[in-house]
Homo-oligomer: A and B are copies of this chain.
Amino acid sequence: MAMDGYRGFLGLLVSALLVGFLSVIFTLIWVLHYREGLGWDGGASEFNWHPVLVVTGFVFIQGIAIIVYRLPWTWKCSKLLMKSIHAGLNTIAAILAIISLVAAFDFHNASHIPNMYSLHSWVGMIAVILYISQEIGKNKQLLIGFFVFLLPLAPPSLRALLMPIHVYSGLFIFGTVIATVLMGVTEKLLFVLKKPAYSTFPPEGIFTNTLGLLILLFGALIFWIVTRPQWKRPKEPNSTLLQPNRGTPEGVEGSMATNFGNMDKSDSELNNEAAARKRNITLDEAGQRSTV
């Protein structure tokens, strides 16, 4: 049973990686085969960095950053390490997103196309601003927590209040990015597919619509993986100690299997003494709790 839950997770993870990777490949084929290729000359080939970097960074890498805590083989790693990986991936995604904006603005300016008039640009800019704000807030906490790792930066009640907002806004931004990508594909195909028109089902239209579906499917897989309570990283041992009445006799893998598909089971059941006993509490692990 434990093996079933683990296999289910692995199957979905491999699917998500495959679909995400295919999305990046499709984007590259789109700009290299159907469009003007890649360059940095203010022309269409500079613009083409925009979809490539958005799909690579803002979709694929952000998607991986969202599920990185869910990989069962990382549950024995310190949470500070996992937070650093989560933050590092998000930072890479943010940098790629910013470069992708520069490519789009440069192209517009060189071609005297106005900026920021479309719904795609409005929603996309909101997503980038929210993403970077969220990241600055979190990384400040993480960096201070890294150097002064025993300092409790925020009282647990405040952290308990902020964490659901962080999780929610992260997923909201990710969903908004995907919606923005679908708008971007729509815009671009209507701009460039004239002869033959988009409405005559040219190969580029069908190919790029398929890219849109792949990106939607990638989002669906990431959302499924991240919202299953049974695949959540178990809480740190000492937070178990704060709730001594919530331990159960099952092990982590046992919980994974029995919780499979049961939305009403408590996340806290993963947070059990058997799991706690499996871990070595290092100074880092004790320290990272102040970094939320």
Contact = CB atoms under 8 A, between A and B. Distances in A.
Given A114-B199, A267-B266, A119 B189 contact: yes
Contacts of A198: 117-118
Interface stretch (A46-54, A97-105, A132-140, A158-166): A158-166
A264 to B, nearest CB: 6
A223 interface: yes
Interface stretch (A12-20, A87-95, A176-184): A176-184
A185 interface: yes
B262 A160 contact: yes
Interface in A199-251: 199-201, 205, 208-209, 212-213, 216, 220, 223-224, 227-228, 235, 239, 246
A123 interface: yes
A208 to B, nearest CB: 7
A233 to B, nearest CB: 12
A122 B213 CA distance: 8
Nearest to A262: B160
B186 A120 contact: yes
Given A167-B263, A198-B118, A263-B163, A172 B209 contact: no
A41 interface: no
A264 B172 contact: no
B117 A205 contact: yes
Interface in A124-144: 126
A261 B246 CA distance: 19
A45 interface: no
A240 B255 CA distance: 20
A168 B224 CA distance: 7
Contacts of A267: 263-264, 266
A187 interface: yes
A263 B271 CA distance: 13
Given A119-B212, A172-B223, 14 more contacts: A118-B205, A119-B185, A123-B213, A123-B216, A161-B260, A163-B263, A164-B228, A164-B262, A168-B223, A175-B179, A239-B264, A263-B267, A264-B268, A266-B268
26 contacts: A117-B200, A118-B186, A118-B198, A119-B185, A119-B189, A122-B212, A160-B261, A161-B260, A161-B261, A161-B262, A163-B263, A164-B261, A164-B263, A168-B223, A172-B220, A175-B179, A179-B179, A179-B182, A182-B183, A183-B183, A186-B186, A186-B187, A190-B191, A235-B264, A264-B267, A266-B268
Closest 6 CB pairs of A and B: A266-B266, A179-B179, A161-B261, A164-B263, A119-B212, A119-B209
